[in-house]
Amino acid sequence: MFIVLDDDDLYLNWVNQNPDGFVINASRKPAASYLKLHRATCHSLNKQNVLNWTTGDYLKACSLESQELVQWSEHWFKTKPDDCSFCMKVNSAFRTESSFETRFSDAERVPFEKYPEMGRVPMGPIAGVNARRGYTLKLHQLTGLRECAYCGFDLMASFENWLTVQLDHVVPVSAAKMFAIQDDWIQDYSNTVLACSACNSYGNRYKLAEAPSLDSREDFYNLRDQVYQARRKLICALRDDERTFFNSLKSS
């Protein structure tokens, strides 16, 4: 096992040469609050066109054995690392076409693990005046994602699908105004997801229950992840209700 700090070439060479290996992504000053275990092949940690893998806010702990990384985490931080909900919990439901409930039943799933540096760094201010030709297209280019973050609808499978694509602020702009959250945190691509028009309209019903305590951008990203999970549960319930109504029309 070894730690990679300030050497992106070494890190990328290692993950490419050791596809059966494992990596813990941790803050530059590691803490128990953020230790994420990945396979070396995880899409979120081996994009060749992404910089600052180990020269920015994060370091990488690498090993051919996942248990060695777990033991390192337990020894130094008294806790096990969290598993990446994509590469460490892959199952057939995510490999095959299936229902909304099956594909998105994993309560820990967050799309930000596909973002540069796990979505824990700024990705740039939202810019442009057109959704499909501007800011949503930019998020797709930054992340490679093409599905609605809430229902999995492939937004680029057809022209008709493409017409429904929207950009969704996970922590709502209204919350920023209400609770004085920094505008540059809210208006950064790292606080956005691709959404279909239906899910985006459902998600707009979500309101923060109380003022969050945010001392750093890391606190904001933790809030973003929590809000995403809450909104996805709300959207899932609303979609189920709409599906029940739709099925009743077919049977009447």
pLDDT digits (tens, 9 = 90+) for 8-32: 999 999 998 998 899 999 998 888 8
CA distance 196 to 247: 21
CA distance 209 to 202: 17
pLDDT of 131 reads: 84
For residue range 169-206, list pLDDT tens digits in order: 999 988 888 888 999 999 999 999 999 999 999 877 77
For residue range 197-237, list pLDDT tens digits in order: 999 998 777 778 788 888 899 999 999 998 999 889 889 88
Cβ-in-10-Å burial (0-12, 13-18, 19+) of 155 comes to buried
Question: Are the C-beta atoms of residues 211 and 219 closer than 8 Å to each other?
Answer: no
CA distance 155 to 205: 22
For residue range 128-165, list pLDDT tens digits in order: 888 888 999 999 999 989 999 998 889 988 999 999 99
For residue range 71-101, list pLDDT tens digits in order: 999 999 999 998 876 677 543 333 333 334 4
pLDDT of 162 reads: 92
Q: CA 52: distance to chain centroid?
A: 18
Please give the model's pTM, rounded to 2 decimal places: 0.59
Separation in Å, CA 50 to CA 47, 149, 228, 231, 243: 6, 22, 24, 29, 40
Count of CA atoms in the C-beta half-sphere (13 A) of 124: 11
